[in-house]
Structure 1
Amino acid sequence: MQIQHLVRIHGREILNHEHMRIERECYQHGVVTTFAHSIRVACLAVWIADRLHLWHRVDLRSLIRAALLHDYFLYDWHEWDDGVHRMHGFTHGGTAMRNAMRDFRLNRVERDSIENHMFPLTPCPPRYIEGYLVTVADKISATQETLSLDRFNKPALDNPESGK
């Protein structure tokens, strides 16, 4: 419960932003929306930092904000788009970072963590411990969400823009 409170406090600006509506309306992995995935990654990254006793080395605010924005690409990558998002796994970190820079003031730790969270699919690893925590938490969450048997019971989301 304390971790969720920290995420709400440090992520309030992001969680309340109008573009997060898009994340609530798109699936990321299995039956998990991009919004829920981002919150899971933020909570798990904080939990990992706690378990590894990294508090003297981690900027908690930057860690949470980067985790919440790591998939801020603002489109449904599952929908047919004539191949525009075909390289999504390789490119969405840069897209998320550009969108996040447009909507929020980001520091260098947040920018780097968002842009490089898909390492090793992207050539550059994160430069900061916060980026590695986001990367590890993202891989763990994505694997769990993708392999969950719940994915076979996917309810339709209320997304008027997707024509569903």
Structure 2
Amino acid sequence: MHKAIGSKRDFSNLNEDELLAEYHECVRDIIENEMVKKMDTFVQHCNTSRLQHSINVSYYSFLICFRMGWDYRSAARAGLLHDLFLYDWRTKKGVPTHHASWHPRVALDNASKITELNKIEKDAIRKHMWPCTLTPPRYIESFVITFVDKACAVCEVAERKYKNIRVGKVAIS
């Protein structure tokens, strides 16, 4: 399994970390799905694959909801599935509306094909692009995924910019 960007936790060593084991238990039935694995072949933000981005959103949404006592299982699962579409959104032709408002519907349709979704997971996937999707999320877990998705996107873009600066041997204090 990939590691969440920015996390110090070793995702390959589930036996020694109870929190990671709990996270993995939430997503283990979908993380190995072939459609989910294919997300690794698509770039989401800069050098981050769509699968890596989805793991980032899933894991950090899980952590927030776990710490707050909310439905962390639904958050982890919806976070992993929120961008389950298999096309390059930068070049896709024939999408009936703007990608930001269209892809949540595609992701929800694809996610529904590989696992049964509860009402929180459906809401989180369908509305994670709010306010581009006009209807706001209904559940607190959906709001968490919405905001974690944006934060991860910023971090993924910033990570590339930071690496480029470091490669260019410019010192940053």
* TM-score relative to the length of structure 2: 0.77
* Residue deviations 1:76-122 (CA, integer Å, cap 9, x gap): 213x3335387111111111011111221001110011000000111
Higher RCO (Cα < 8 Å, 6 or more apart): 1
Kindly tell me: are residues 13 and 123 of structure 1, through their superposed partners in 2, closer, same or farther at Cα, counting changes over 3 Å?
same
The alignment status of 1:64 with 2:63, answered yes or no, reads no
Following the alignment from structure 1 to structure 2, what is the Cα–Cα distance between the partners of residues 82 and 137? 28
Structural mapping, 1:1-164, within 5 Å: 1=9, 2=17, 3-50=19-66, 53-55=67-69, 58-78=70-90, 80-82=91-93, 84=95, 87-148=98-159, 149=161
* Cα pair 1:30 1:150 within 8 Å, conserved: no
One-letter amino acid matched to 1:72: L
Following the alignment from structure 2 to structure 1, what is the Cα–Cα distance between the partners of residues 92 and 86? 14
* Residue deviations 1:17-53 (CA, integer Å, cap 9, x gap): 0102320100100100011111111111123335xx4
Kindly tell me: are residues 120 and 8 of structure 1, through their superposed partners in 2, closer, same or farther at Cα, counting changes over 3 Å?
same
Give the superposition deviation at 1:150. Answer: 6.2
Bigger Rg over Cα: 2
Give the superposition deviation at 1:7. Answer: 2.6
Kindly tell me: are residues 12 and 98 of structure 1, through their superposed partners in 2, closer, same or farther at Cα, counting changes over 3 Å?
same
Name the Cα RMSD after superposition.
Answer: 2.0
Percent identical among aligned pairs is 35
User: Please, which moves more after superposition, 5-14 or 24-33?
Assistant: 5-14
Following the alignment from structure 1 to structure 2, what is the Cα–Cα distance between the partners of residues 117 and 43? 15
* TM-score relative to the length of structure 1: 0.81
